[in-house]
Structure 1
Amino acid sequence: MRKAGNPYYSGPVSDHFDGVRFFNPGGNMPRGFADLLRWQFGGGRAKWPGRYDSPFLQATPDLTVDGDRLRVTMVGHATLLIQVGGVNILTDPVWSHRASPFALFGPHRRNPPGILMDDLPPIDIVLVTHNHYDHLDLDTLSALNDEHAPHVITPLGNDTIIRRAVPDAEISVLDWGDRIDLDDGVVIHAEPCHHWSARRSRDRRMALWAAFVIETPAGKIYHVGDTGFHEGINYRAARAKHGTFRLANLPFGCYEPRWFMESHHQNPEEAVMGMIACGAAHVAGHHWGTFRLTDEGIEEPLQALEAALEKAGIEQARFRPLRPGEVFNVPLSSVAQE
């Protein structure tokens, strides 16, 4: 039974749940409505083109990837197909035209998905990091369930939202620090990130947000859907608990204006700092170039990322800003972890 006031979750008070709402320990709350209006009507938003087509063709993935191989294919925004150890994993799947509760209003795609839904291999696992509309899309989850019946793994409270649209979905719900052991030597851990949640104006922070660590026979993957840098606290904690990573999937777009976004969306320089802090040999960069959610120009994240990597002395090839349809065969790296 859910506690009155929270339509999604009821559970014991913890260091990140006050009995009704979740929060970032030692962190910042999302800004309020007055600041939202100040941002929206303050000007400074760069113009985006109506279309921003990827130079890559829509991909047709192999059915499986096994052995020591690890492959990531960009669908768009935060939707990635991870293929490793014979398992196919989708992150925050969104195939809809808009990241919005409305069919005719809200941010729309500037490029088509990098994989047609009909061309997906059998999907075993879906990871949903939090409930913002650019990460949790009920139409997509319903279609995936009809075709693939994947095992959905998500933080506390998001299962309630998903079940309203997909009542027969197989869902596992994790708190920060929880794990689930799957077949084929794959383990999924839910870990903290500095973010927030909302589907509408009155349900802020009533479902949890999380990053995921994916243990596989081919190495460890650190997947972050959305986060503020938060002084690198969560990055260092992930490394202390799990060791270094063969791959980190890190957001590096949707970050301006900083006065509004800094607490919850890291910028490219911070993403590079996060790469170093968690000890990732390689990074698949996401959360840019598909939905215009913030003020920066569509290619500004690329330019800022290049400068940040050069400043840090990191080879550009180690941090790949993926475009729809792009396939990243992640090397078995001997690069020393910073």
Structure 2
Amino acid sequence: MKIRWLVFAGVLVMAVSLFKACSTPEQKFYNTGMAGSAAASNLWEIAKMYLRTERKAPSPTAPLPLRQIPAGELSAPGDQATVYRLGHSSILIQLDGHTVLTDPVFSDRASPVQWAGPKRFHPLPFALDDLPTITAVVISHDHYDHLDRDSLLALDNKVGTYLVPLKVGNHLRRWGIADDKIVELDWWQSHRIASLQFTATPAQHFSGRGLSDRDETLWASWAIKGQGGNLFFSGDSGYFGGFREIGERLGPFDLTLIETGAYNLLWSKVHMLPEQSVQAHLDLKGRAMLPIHNSTFDLALHDWFEPLERAAAAAWERNVTLLTPIMGTQVTVQQPGKTAFWWRDEAEPALLEAALAGAEQDAAALKARQR
């Protein structure tokens, strides 16, 4: 019971923060065309849900499959564009001979402290010392599961440029990262490094690392284009019309790295449901979709494997090429090939069926909202 009340307190703080972030127009940054995602009545609903929900499979009960990336494979990117899932939203991209990292979070916990908070399900699929020179680190926003101080400081001597949304650079400067390595961009602004063009694009989310800094920094998705491919990295976002505009202006994309996890109907305006993630991929004019933001940390109430199972079902219905690689597996952007539904070996069949039933319930609830 004590644990339940601790969870209740933590969720109430989260809910209040979410409400402040998304519904107060006086904040410096805000979502355009959105009238707040968390009404005051939602706060109690979120807290009650956390207290009452009986978790079936919040985390894996056995080690997840993992491929350890050989040092030589990291240090010698070939001519073809490739990506590796490292965990959560951390992706290693090899493009035009350059190495790019997105939202590197390599700590054991996605938390302000390492003695409490969501703990990772799996080890890293590489050794930090094996990483080569990193042309750019791309950051989507400043939440702890996307901006990790210890990871950035451990990487800093290898990194050429940090590409961040407006004012996120203030965190990096405070941590001792050199100002001349930091490039801050507003939505639709671009920065070129050799043959690579990075464009900060809109997202529907919020920011802050405490209760007093709501929305003082911008959040963004990113388009990353090189001679070897055109990639989209969603960061965190609810589903919104901006995906279609991004697709029209900067697409089509060879590969979309789309948030699919840590969702709930109560906060779906800032975290997409898996079916909405698949629709976002279609809006972006993507050729293949790789779901991210799942299978590393327990950040919501769904089973750990549910995001992938629901995304797979939605992708099959919409004829979308879905890539679900084991962590550490090399994926070739232009010719990705097939990937296994590996989570099904780790999940009970009855819970997989329940995940799809939950998708139908969420779809019905969304339709009811629109009436």
TM over 0.5: yes
**For 1:289-308, what aligned pairs fall within 5 Å after superposition?**
289-308=295-314
Q: How far did 1:133 drift?
A: 0.3
CA contact (8 A) 1:286 1:321 kept: no
Distance 1:219 1:330 in 2: 7
When residues 52 and 94 of structure 1 are mapped into structure 2, their CA distance, relative to the original with a 3 A threshold, is farther
Unaligned 5+ runs, structure 2 = 1-23, 337-371
* Structure-to-structure mapping, 1:4-153, within 5 angstroms: 20-31=27-38, 34=44, 36-49=46-59, 53-60=63-70, 61-67=73-79, 69-145=80-156, 147-153=157-163
Partner SS state of residue 73, structure 1? strand
Distance 2:159 2:316 in 1: 43
Task: Output the CA distance in 2 between the equivalents of 1:97 and 1:24.
Answer: 31
Quote the Cα distance in structure 1 between the aligned partners of 2:78 and 2:123: 28
Percent identical pairs in the alignment equals: 29
Q: Distance in 2 between matches of 1:255 and 1:100?
A: 18
Supply the distance in 2 between the matched residues of 1:206 and 1:52 (Cα, whole angstroms): 40
Verify the 8 A CA contact 1:52 1:289 in the aligned structure 2.
no
Q: Does 1:326 align with 2:329?
A: yes
How far is the alpha carbon of 1:219 from its aligned partner? 2.1
> Whose relative contact order is higher, 1 or 2, with alpha carbons under 8 Å and at least 6 apart?
1
Distance 2:175 2:199 in 1: 25
2:29 partner amino acid:
F
The one-character-per-residue Cα deviations of 1:39-63 (angstroms, maximum 9, x if unpaired) are 4334244432365533232212332
CA distance, structure 1, for counterparts of residue 84 and residue 275 of structure 2: 24
In 2, Cα distance between equivalents of 1:137 and 1:216: 27
TM-score by length of 2: 0.78
- Give the Cα separation in 1 of the matches to 2:127 and 2:61: 18
Q: Answer whether contact 2:206 2:270 (CA < 8 A) is retained.
A: yes
Q: Counterpart of 2:87 in structure 1: which amino acid? A: G
Contact kept in structure 2, 1:251 and 1:271, CA below 8 Å: yes
With normalisation by structure 1, the TM-score equals 0.85
Which residue identity does 1:118 align to in structure 2? Answer: D
Q: 1:229 aligns with which of 223, 228, 239?
A: 239
1:159–1:34 distance in 2 versus 1, CA, 3 Å: farther
Whether contact under 8 Å (1:21, 1:205) holds in the other structure is: yes
Rounded to whole Å, the distance in 2 between the matches of 1:35 and 1:325 is: 38
Determine the structure 2 residue equivalent to 1:248: 256
Q: Which AA in structure 2 matches 1:204?
A: R
Residues 290 and 323 of structure 2 are in contact (CA less than 8 Å); yes or no, is this contact kept in structure 1? Answer: yes
- The 1:81–1:265 alpha-carbon spacing in structure 2 relative to 1, beyond 3 Å, is same
* Structure with greater proportional helix content: 2
- Assess, with a 3 A threshold, how the Cα gap between structure 1 residues 275 and 79 changes in structure 2: closer, same or farther: same
Change (3 A) 1:202 1:52: farther
Contact 2:203 2:242 survives alignment (8 Å): yes
Question: 2: CA distance between counterparts of 1:226 and 1:41?
Answer: 25
Which amino acid letter does the alignment assign opposite residue 262 of structure 2?
A: C
Count of aligned residue pairs for this structure pair: 307
Which residue of 202, 223, 232 corresponds with 1:213? 223
User: What residue number does 2:202 align with?
Assistant: 192
The equivalent of 2:356 in structure 1 is none
Give the corresponding residue for 1:310: 316
What is the letter of the counterpart of residue 236 of structure 1?
Answer: R
Partner of 1:6: none
CA distance in 1, matches of 2:269, 2:258: 16
State the secondary structure of the residue aligned to 2:162.
strand
Change (3 A) 1:266 1:130: same
Q: Structure 1 counterpart of 2:253, which letter?
A: F
Q: CA 1:209–1:46 in structure 2 vs 1: closer, same or farther (change >3 Å)?
A: farther
Distance in 2 separating the partners of 1:22 and 1:266: 20
SS in structure 2 of the partner of residue 321 of structure 1: coil
